[in-house]
Amino acid sequence: MLKVKRSFLEKLTGSSRIEDNNEYESPMKPLSRIYEEEEESEMIISPSSRNNAQEESLVSSDESEGQLTIDVYQTENDIVIKSTIAGVKPEDLDVSINNDMVSIRGERKNEEVVGEENYYYQECYWGNFSRSVILPVDVLSEKSEASMKNGILTIRLPKADNTKTKKIQVRGF
DSSP state for residue 3 in the 8-state scheme: P
pLDDT digits over 117-164, tens only? 988 988 888 889 999 999 999 999 899 999 999 999 999 999 987 766
Total number of domains constituting the chain: 1
Q: Which among 117, 97, 106, 111 has a CA at the least distance from the CA of 160? A: 97
pLDDT given at position 55: 39
Q: State which residues form the domain around 138.
A: 66-111+122-158
Gap between the Cα atoms of 12 and 15, Å rounded: 8
Residue 25 has pLDDT above 60, yes or no: no
pLDDT of residue 37 exceeding 90: no
Whether 75 maps to a domain, the answer reads yes
Q: Taking the complete model, does pTM exceed 0.75, yes or no?
A: no
In 118-135, which positions are buried (b, 16+ CB within 10 angstroms) versus exposed (e)?
Answer: eeeeeeeeeeebebebeb
CATH number (domain holding residue 85)? 2.60.40.790
